[in-house]
Amino acid sequence: MKTFVIGDIHGAYRALKQCVERSKIDYEEDRLICLGDVVDGWGETPEAIEELKKFKNLIYILGNHDLWTYDWLEFGASPVIWTEQGGRATIDSYVKRRGELMIPHRKFFRKAVYYFIDEKNRIYVHGGFNPDMPIEDQHEDFITWNRSLFEEALCNKGKYSKYDEIYLGHTTTSSFSKYPFKAGNVWLMDQGAGFEGYLSILDVDTKEFWQSNKVSDLYPEERGRS
């Protein structure tokens, strides 16, 4: 079994399909770890979730946008801070086209986790965490929203915490790199797919990666999160 990690999808089903096809990941045999935020941005969130559900060995890490979407699916909550950051596209994708998927996708998010540690001591989390505290003691809001680990890794490029490798989404690298970026033992996997960047998938053992086309080119009729 190979292990792949993929960055923030943000409703870009077409980019997800390209990453799957280009990496040749196996739906039945390989493990796919998604770093969260499958929602909010481009208009095919339901289709992206349905694609992820095809993977027998999927590990889905919750992101901050996923929590907003779950609150809407479960309770009808739609704060302006969410709808103005891609949430409106998610609402429309269900209400106008795929309403039958709202209940099963509510269950999808219920089964997701906030972090994952694999058998080779690699940790996967959406935002970040305090490396001086056990992650199980840290609040869910903190690890879905945190950006300090991203910033510290870029500045210091040392080894953080007891984990051999750390994989993060949440904060885009598009201002300085269009590719997955390694800083110390931290891998930054958000290449701006929610905006005008790219979606990346990486084999965590070989470090070979594949990318979609520029996502804004795949959705010329939409604006994404921009």
- pLDDT, residue 50, reads 98
- Is 184 a domain residue? yes
What's this model's pTM, rounded to 2 decimal places?
0.96
User: Is pLDDT at 157 greater than 80 in this prediction?
Assistant: no
Long-range contacts of 208-214 (CB under 8 A, 24+ apart): 209/179, 209/180, 210/19, 210/22, 210/23, 211/18, 211/19, 211/22, 211/178, 211/179, 212/12, 212/14, 212/15, 212/16, 212/18, 212/19, 212/22, 213/15, 213/18
In a domain, 135, yes or no: yes
Position 224 in a domain: no
* Structural domain boundaries, residue 50: 3-218
**Predicted pLDDT of residue 226:** 76
Whether residue 225 is contained in a domain is answered as: no
Beta bridge partners of 211: 200
| Residue 226 lies inside a defined structural domain of this protein | no
What's the chain's average pLDDT? Answer: 96
pLDDT at 126: 98
pLDDT-derived band at 161, boundaries 50, 70, 90:
confident
Tokens encoding 171? 């904060």
Q: How far is Cα 162 from Cα 175, in angstroms, rounded to an integer?
A: 29
Structural tokens at position 43: 């208009």
Domain-embedded: residue 36: yes
* Close Cβ partners of 26 (under 8 Å, ≥ 6 residues apart): 2
Residue 42 lies in a domain: yes
* Total of domains in the chain: 1
Is 223 part of any domain? no
Average pLDDT over every residue of 127-154: 94
Interval 102-139: pLDDT, tens: 999 999 999 999 999 999 999 999 999 999 999 999 99
In this model, does residue 76 exceed pLDDT 90? yes
Q: How would you classify the pairing of strands 57-60 and 31-34?
A: parallel
Which of the four pLDDT bands, split at 50, 70 and 90, describes residue 24? very high
Q: What is the pLDDT of residue 11?
A: 98
CATH code for the domain in which residue 173 is found: 3.60.21.10
Please write the tens of the pLDDT for every residue from 174-205: 999 999 999 999 999 999 999 999 999 999 99
